Amino acid sequence: MTRTELINLVIMDACADDYEDRYQIYKLFDQVAPQMDNPPTHAEINAQILELVADGLMAGYFLFTGVYEAPLDQLRDGLNTPYLGENGQDPYFYQTPKGKAVHAADDYWPFDEPFD
């Protein structure tokens, strides 16, 4: 498994059953980081989130302005702004049906413990 695939795996797992903002995704990385040779930076995680959206595996939403699937440029802007709190304008991410199918097809988890 490549480093990028590992990063994608953790992101997809974080967003498998609920909408998650970037900070919830970062928390999962914080839990698995001690088991990674080279943990990703927040910028790398953000870039992979956008890549997963571009590939149709995840979608981003602005939940507190009315739930709508946001275009990639708005998500990019949202990830590049300071965190505004749980009720702010931070985008939330969730797996698309395509993402759910890909994630469900592979039960590989390289870390010692499953994290929630």
pLDDT tens string 33-78: 888 889 999 999 999 999 999 999 999 988 777 767 888 888 888 8
Q: Which residues pair with 21 in a beta bridge?
A: 92
Write down the pTM of the prediction.
Answer: 0.86
Work out the burial of residue 112: count CB atoms within 10 Å of its CB; fewer than 13 is exposed, 13-18 middle, 19 or more buried.
exposed
Tokens of residue 67, six digits:
């739930």
pLDDT tens string 80-95: 776 655 555 788 899 9
List all residues 6 or more positions away from 32 whose beta carbon is below 8 Å from its beta carbon. Answer: 10, 39, 111, 115
Q: Which residues pair with 93 in a beta bridge?
A: 20, 60
Rg of the chain in Å (alpha carbons): 13
The CATH topology of domain 3-105 is: Arc Repressor Mutant, subunit A (1.10.10)
- Helices and strands, number each (H, E), in the chain: 5, 3
- The DSSP symbol for 84 reads -
